[in-house]
Amino acid sequence: MADQPKLFKVTIDNITIEVEAGTSILNAARMIGGEVAPPAMCYYSKLKGSGGKCRTCLVEVAAGSTADPRPMPKLVASCRTNVMDGMVVKNITSERVQDARKGVVELLLINHPLDCPICDQAGECHLQDLSYEHGAEDTRYEFPRRQFEKHNLGPYIQLHMTRCILCYRCVFTADQLTNKRVHGVLDRGDHAEIATYIEKSLDNDFIGNVIDVCPVGALTDKTFRFKNRVWFLKPVDAHRDCPKCSGKVTLWHRGDEVFRVTGRKDQWGEVQDWICNECRFEKKKTSDWVIEGPTKVSRHSVISANHYVGTVKPQEALPEVLGGRQPRLLMDIHSVSEVNKPNVDLSKIPGPAHSNDFKEGKG
């Protein structure tokens, strides 16, 4: 059939998947999901031209394609390399990749202030997740870390360059969502900084989205700064009739008070719809919104702590990667503990677990 889109067969970590021509390796791996998807700090599927900069998504291409099965000599950025038919990619099965990724994480962290205890992004920070999963437990960097002055970008947004990892996502956002670009990068090398040229504030209606795209705590919401920790708040999906945007948001509230409003994020931490500044910064009462229900939060996230309802069990890709074998556990808790029963799924229990739940499960 001529109308059928051309499908390429690509094998990532021993799992074969068919994807459309023109798909990047990263997106193909995301279709498989789980650990097979490489981490991405700078790539953002909704921003044209993003990606390729952070180098955390490096993968090894063991065979270029069926036509040319030579391996690629260097590790490639999976977010900017498209799949070819018959390509064989190694991500978590390649030691080279793991080693290089560990190196990149270390380099990303050497000048990061690691001020997570006072950072508003803590709990939903991609750099935190990344260093937890791929970083070393200790630093070998013994020098003073790079510091910048804080800048106010307009009345609502604060830029704290010290935390920035220069992913350029906010630059692309300002470039592609707003019609007057006043946001870019000044200087070069390790003293490069995100800037609005000569302190010009950003007053576009959609500029608040730079907060959502920032993978770290460099761009923060001034209406929310230091108000609360994200894991103490309840995220709920809500909407309102907004003339400017879709009005579909996530409200972070406790009781009647809405602490902050963000776009709805998917499992890769990317917003589904851009929201306008009015929705984000000015509608801070629950009465402004129609609440739909609790937001699904990944069980990995600290935000899901104490919220059993609606937590999503992550996909297990490891048995498939290992060719059907189960991963070897250092200790199976079920074999030594009477408390936890494998037939009781904690995420199915509404609210915190109680001893009664386990009795039921036993039955």
Partner 1 sequence: MGRKLLLEKAHVQGIRTYEVYRREGGYRSVEKALKNMSPDQVTEEVKKSGLRGRGGAGFPAGMKWSFLAKPEGVPRYLVCNADESEPGTFKDRYLMEFIPHLLVEGLIVASYALGSNRTFIYIRGEYAWIVDILEQAIAEAKHNGWLGKNILGTGFDLEIYVQRGAGAYICGEETALLESLEGKRGNPRIKPPFPAVKGLWDCPTVVNNVETLAAVVPIINMGGDEYAKIGVGKSTGTKLISACGNINKPGVYEIDMTISVEEFIYSDEYCGGIAHGKRLKACIPGGSSVPILPANLLLKTAKGEQRMMNYESLADGGFATGTMMGSGGFIVLDEDQCVVRHTLTLARFYRHESCGQCSPCREGTGWMEKILKNIEYGKGKKSDIDLLWDIQRKIEGNTICPLGDAAAWPVAAAIRHFRDEFEWHVQYPNAAQNRNYGLAHYADPLPVLAAPKA
What's the first-to-final CA gap in the chain, in angstroms?
55
Q: What is the DSSP letter of 47?
A: S
User: Between residues 24 and 262, which has the closer beta carbon with respect to partner 1?
Assistant: 24
Minimal distance, residue 51 CB to partner 1, in Å: 8
User: Between residues 28 and 167, which has the closer beta carbon with respect to partner 1?
Assistant: 167
Stretch that binds partner 1, among 30-38, 60-68, 74-82, 268-276 (CB under 8 A): 74-82
Within residues 78-117, the interface with partner 1 by CB under 8 A covers 80, 100, 103-104, 106-108, 110-111
Task: Find the angle CA(229)-CA(232)-CA(235) to the nearest 5 degrees.
Answer: 100
If one asks whether residue 138 binds partner 1 (CB under 8 A), the answer comes out as no
Minimal distance, residue 145 CB to partner 1, in Å: 11
Binding string, residues 166-185; x marks residues near partner 1 by CB under 8 A:
x-x---------------xx
If one asks whether residue 65 binds partner 1 (CB under 8 A), the answer comes out as no
Residue 238's nearest CA partner among 267, 273, 214 is 273
Residue linked to tokens 């800037």: 195
Q: What sign has the CA pseudo-torsion 95, 36, 61, 101? A: negative
Minimal distance, residue 193 CB to partner 1, in Å: 9
User: Between residues 103 and 269, which has the closer beta carbon with respect to partner 1?
Assistant: 103
- How big, in percent rounded to 5, are the helix, strand and coil portions of the chain? 25, 20, 55
User: Between residues 77 and 233, which has the closer beta carbon with respect to partner 1?
Assistant: 77
Number of residues interacting with partner 1: please give it, by CB under 8 A: 32
If one asks whether residue 40 binds partner 1 (CB under 8 A), the answer comes out as no
Segments in the chain forming alpha helices (H):
25-32, 95-110, 126-134, 169-177, 209-213, 277, 318-321, 333-336, 355-362
Rounded Cα distance, 172 and 178, in Å? 10
Amino acid making up residue 14: N
3 state DSSP class of 87: strand
Residues that bind partner 1 (CB under 8 A): 51-55, 58, 74-75, 77, 80, 100, 103-104, 106-108, 110-111, 140-141, 143, 165-166, 168, 184-185, 187-192
